[in-house]
């Protein structure tokens, strides 16, 4: 990958895609294509195929997906499976037809079995049953991973790599309390409680599950390294290797926001996977390490998203 490479970023309006655009521009990459949803309908195979065939990018980054937190995944399985299959298959197969040599597909740590051995290695894929609440999303992502793998194995001039990040957070995240992921949802709940001078917040589930969190800009830096270096595999984990319980995460956010709230747990909502920390030996061996600690990342988001904008 060179500074004059033509790079197509799909999903550029989302948290991950917008981080790619911002960081590539900061690094002085000039030929960035980042069509918005109203410019390119990723659910339309013909339009995707024609766009890729016409523009002939050197590298394609798939950050586009229908995403949401545990509740959104659990209640919208039809759309999560169908739309994600359509989006990724349209892009990956169109790239293959247009002889695109290099592609990066963004997956998710939820593709691994619910009770995978911790920390989770890449070889754990398809070795056990999935967590039911996000099964539809995971199945779609697994299909994309395998399609990339099959293309890479059958066509030796194709370098299609799937990256599995841990739970992401950062600028341009979704803070909708019903549909967002756990960290932004917690930040929004605690901030609202602070603003409204409440004494208590209600958290979904038991607070016992453990999760691993990665600042989105760190993910992008890892992906750029993978694109620059020769990685022979088709799947690679990206994370910090550290985990924290949801209860302790809530406490950490409260400390940063300087508020002490009583926590009530709503057991009517599912916990999801009990533990989900990634084995990150492969990406560490390539020379990458995360720069933004969880403490620093939450504080940064609090300062920029909440205190500055009063949201």
Catalytic residues, which ones?
A: 137
CA distance 232 to 160: 10
CA 164, 1, 283, 243 torsion-angle sign: negative
Q: Is 29 left (phi over 0), alpha (psi -120 to 50) or beta?
A: beta
CA distance 110 to 29: 32
**Start-to-end Cα distance in the chain:** 39
Strand runs labelled E in the chain: 7-10, 32-33, 59-62, 102-106, 159-165, 167-169, 200-204, 210-211, 213-215, 235-238, 244-245, 262-266, 275-276
Coil, helix or strand for 185?
Answer: helix
CA distance 246 to 69: 14
């Amino acid at each position: 990958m060179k500074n004059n490479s033509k790079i197509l970023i799909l999903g550029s309006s989302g948290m991950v895609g917008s981080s790619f655009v911002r960081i590539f521009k900061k690094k002085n990459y000039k030929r960035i294509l980042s069509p918005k949803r109203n410019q390119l309908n990723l659910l339309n195979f013909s339009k995707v195929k024609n766009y890729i065939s016409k523009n002939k990018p050197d590298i394609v980054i798939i950050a586009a997906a229908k995403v949401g937190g545990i509740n959104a995944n659990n209640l919208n399985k039809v759309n999560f499976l169908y739309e994600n299959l359509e989006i990724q298959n349209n892009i990956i197969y169109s790239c293959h037809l247009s002889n695109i040599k290099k592609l990066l597909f963004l997956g998710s740590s939820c593709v691994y079995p619910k009770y995978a051995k911790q920390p989770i290695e890449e070889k754990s894929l398809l070795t056990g049953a999935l967590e039911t609440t996000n099964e539809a999303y995971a199945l779609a992502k697994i299909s994309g991973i395998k399609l990339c793998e099959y293309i890479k194995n059958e066509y030796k001039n194709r370098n299609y790599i799937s990256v599995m990040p841990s739970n992401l957070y950062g600028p341009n995240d979704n803070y909708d309390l019903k549909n967002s992921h756990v960290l932004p949802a917690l930040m929004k709940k605690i901030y609202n409680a602070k603003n409204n001078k409440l004494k208590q917040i209600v958290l979904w589930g038991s607070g016992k599950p453990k999760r691993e969190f990665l600042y989105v800009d760190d993910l992008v830096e890892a992906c750029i390294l993978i694109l620059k270096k020769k990685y022979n595999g088709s799947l690679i984990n990206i994370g910090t290797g550290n985990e924290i319980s949801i209860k302790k995460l809530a406490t950490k956010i409260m400390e940063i926001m300087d508020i002490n709230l009583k926590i009530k747990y709503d057991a009517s909502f599912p916990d999801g996977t009990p533990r989900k920390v990634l084995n990150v030996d492969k990406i560490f061996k390539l020379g990458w390490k995360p720069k933004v600690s969880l403490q620093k990342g939450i504080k940064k988001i609090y300062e920029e998203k909440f205190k500055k904008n009063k949201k």
